[in-house]
Structure formats: C-alpha cells, structure tokens
Amino acid sequence: MGDRRAAVWGASGGIGRALVNALASSGDYSLVHAGCRNPFAPASDVIKPFTFDLLDESSIAVAATALAAVGPVDLTIVATGMLHDAAGNWPEKSFAALTADAMVASFRINTVGPALIAKHMIQALPMRRRSVFVALSARVGSIGDNRLGGWHSYRASKAALNMIIANLAIELKRTRPNAIAVGLHPGTVDSSLSLPFQNGVANDKLFSPPTSAKYLLSVVDGLTTTATGAVWAWDGQRITP
C-alpha cells in the first residue's frame, strides 16, 4: 500500500462516496479522509471519517487543521455541489426566474465553500512532492462553450469556481511548485443532483457513481503540472474557459 493520503470533502454524496471507496480500494493510499456533515461507518480501515459544515468556515478550518496534523495530504477532492435544493431553488430557464436568494445559495455551495476548503487545505499539501487539489466543476460553467443559456445561477457559480481554481494554481506555484489545482467535470452521474434532468441523457452518457469515480481518478493519475489551473472533463479533454 502506498504511503499517501487523500481527502474527500463531500463524502456522503453519490460521487463523493464512490470516490472514497475507489481510493480506499486502490492500494495507493494508506489513509483516505472522508468528510461530510454527519459521521458514517467506514467501509474500510483505510477510511477515516471527519465532519464539517460547508456553510461554516470555522468547521472547515478545524477539519483541515486536523487533517494536516495527521500528515501531508497528497490528493484533495472537493465533491460538494448544488444544482437544486429542498428550499425550492431550481435551475432557472429565464432571467424572469432569477432571485437573489437562489443566486446566493448557489454561490455559497458551489463557489464559496470550495474556495474556503482550498484556503484551509493549503497547509496540508506537501511542500515538495506532487499533490493534487480537485474541485468538481461542470461543463456548463464554461463561458466559451455556452450556447444554450439558462441555469443562470448554477452556470455563474461554476464559472466563478473555475476562476478560483485558476487563482489557486497561480498561488500554489510560488510555494508548492509540484502542486496541481484543477476542476473536473464528472459527466452526468446517476445521483440525486441530476435525477430531475436525466430524460435527455443517452444511456451511455449517464454514469453510475463508481464509473464516474473511475474516470475521474484516471484523469487525476495522468495530470502533470502543465495541467494546473484548468478544468478537465471525465475523458481527459480540457474544457474551454
């Protein structure tokens, strides 16, 4: 088993849980930190649960400090995200549907939360050896690829996340030249997030969480420092900014 550590923030979601299990079974990591709001029973001795609240920076700071105390984290994956929620916030089809509350909710989950995790996890990244920081993004966050419009809050929050990743990559070059910071688009995954929007998705493009996790980790394994700051799709193709 490799003497490396990984951390997945958002381990209770479909993709997050699949990533934790895939990392734990890969044999490449001696420890996989699995973070979510509520503790759960780990499926492996390699998995170590921790708790945090994405909307509470102090809880993120406490969790990141605890992870760093165990040892450097070679792979950090932020698998949190929101497309719709129980409060009735839903992807907008027109500007008439925009509300300030929905936009703020989307940005808090999709942009601010991952940015704060990055802020506090920098201390946990190894100084000299390769490390990777990943935030799950989305192709619809690409300004250059946008041909359909709509989904204003979600698109904007993911576009903002992509900028956060680009800025993080620039800053990391100064102190951790072997660190890589990227966004990853997991494709359309059969989960609660995508469930209301699966009707038009071809069967071969609707991935199970384990399949998506396999693709994503394959992309991570192939990343070099030349990839830092960009957003990459599940098939290894770079997404237009």
pTM of the model: 0.95
Domains of the chain, earliest start first = 5-233 (3.40.50.720)
Beta strands in the chain (DSSP E): 5-9, 31-36, 47-51, 75-78, 131-136, 179-185, 188-189, 206-207, 231-233
The predicted structure's pLDDT at residue 193: 74
The predicted structure's pLDDT at residue 181: 98
The predicted structure's pLDDT at residue 225: 98
The predicted structure's pLDDT at residue 192: 72
Q: Which residues in the chain show pLDDT less than 70? A: 1-2, 198, 200
- Laid out side by side, the sheet with 47-51 consists of 47-51, 31-36, 5-9, 75-78, 131-136, 179-185, 231-233
The answer to whether the CB of 33 falls within 8 A of the CB of 77 is no
| Cβ neighbours of 186 (radius 10 Å) | 27
The predicted structure's pLDDT at residue 237: 97
The predicted structure's pLDDT at residue 1: 55
